[in-house]
Amino acid sequence: MIDSRWFLEFTTDKEASLHSLEEVLYTAQTRYQKLEILRLGSYGKTLVLDGKMQSTELDEFIYHESLVHPAMITHGGPKRVLIAGGGEGATIREVLRHPTVESVCMIDLDEEVVEACKTHLHEWHRGCFDDPRVEVLHEDARRFIAEGDEKFDVIILDLPEPMEAGPAIKLYTKEFYDEVAGHLSPGGVAVTQATSVSVNNMSAFALIHNTMARTFTTVRGYWTSVPSFYVPWGFVFASNGKDPKGLSLEEIGARTGRLNSPLRFYNPEVHHGMFAMPQYLQEAVKHEQRINTDSEPLSFY
């Protein structure tokens, strides 16, 4: 007997995925978006915003370890970390595994989402919102970065998809990356989630990569497969000086060994594996000429 209840997401106008829906745990219309916390037969508890899967109980560790550790390990000794986005708390969780961390500031606009995650997604945050080093603010990340004068060792951009019409588009522009660079301490590094790198949908990745390359001297795209995301997923690392490809396996192993709890996805070989760019993706990045700017934000889709 085929299941009767399904979660349906059109990932593009040519593709959709269906997941059996075991339970509707929580739904709300926040000031900014439609929020659903569902239990799927395929991936367990799942956060959905505006109909799009954000992360799932079974494989969120792949996404969050991939987002956080390459940058943190490459930095080598981060003390002050800024997270833009990151509502579920799992990005904080991964940051706090690094024993050098003294403060984590997370800026997530949508307080109702963060509160719902605190209540319903303990598997993600593991109580880390209560860590005394953590501060959570609900305001516009762009303004916070522009107006503050604090410097950070690592800035992690864990943001919603850059839709042309949506507010997040301003968190993927040249001007924003300049602000990010201006708020890094010497030797600081930044990283952003960077959408699909699928063969039929990699232009947003290439655009983000090319835009960051106008601000930073070292820009490294990387990718992995988060199964529930359906397509291979990209990230971009950026720094003025530090290079994740320059670390030896031994050095990564030594740094990883100092983390205060074991990981499930990331390890030294996986670190370099993620930065191994197939030819087709190298070429997409090389041929990208466009830059995303405040005045002419580009359509990502």
Q: Give the residue numbers annotated as catalytic, written as ranges.
A: 158
Token pair listed for 127: 């109580």
Contacts of 76 (CB under 8 A, 6+ apart): 187, 242, 255
83 sits in the region (left: phi over 0; alpha: psi -120 to 50; else beta) called: beta
Token pair, residue 245, equals: 């490809």
- Considering the rule CB under 8 A, would residue 219 count as an interface residue with a second copy? no
Q: Does 194 help bind a second copy (rule: CB under 8 A)?
A: no
Stretch that binds a second copy, among 17-25, 81-89, 180-188, 293-301 (CB under 8 A): 17-25
Q: Site mask, a second copy, residues 131-170, x = CB under 8 A? A: ----------------------------------------
Query: Is 248 among the residues that bind a second copy (CB under 8 A)?
Result: no
Among 37, 55, 59, 107, binds a second copy (CB under 8 A): 59
Shortest reach from residue 20's CB to a second copy, in Å: 4
Is residue 251 at the binding interface for a second copy, with CB under 8 A as the rule? no
Residue 22 vs 140, nearer CB to a second copy:
22
Q: Is 9 in the site for a second copy (CB under 8 A)?
A: yes
Burial of 109 (0-12, 13-18, 19+ CB in 10 A): buried
Q: Which of 97, 109, 98, 101 is nearest to 144 (CA)?
A: 109
Within 270-299, the residues that bind a second copy by CB under 8 A are 270, 272-280
DSSP 25-40: EEEEE-SS-EEEEEEE
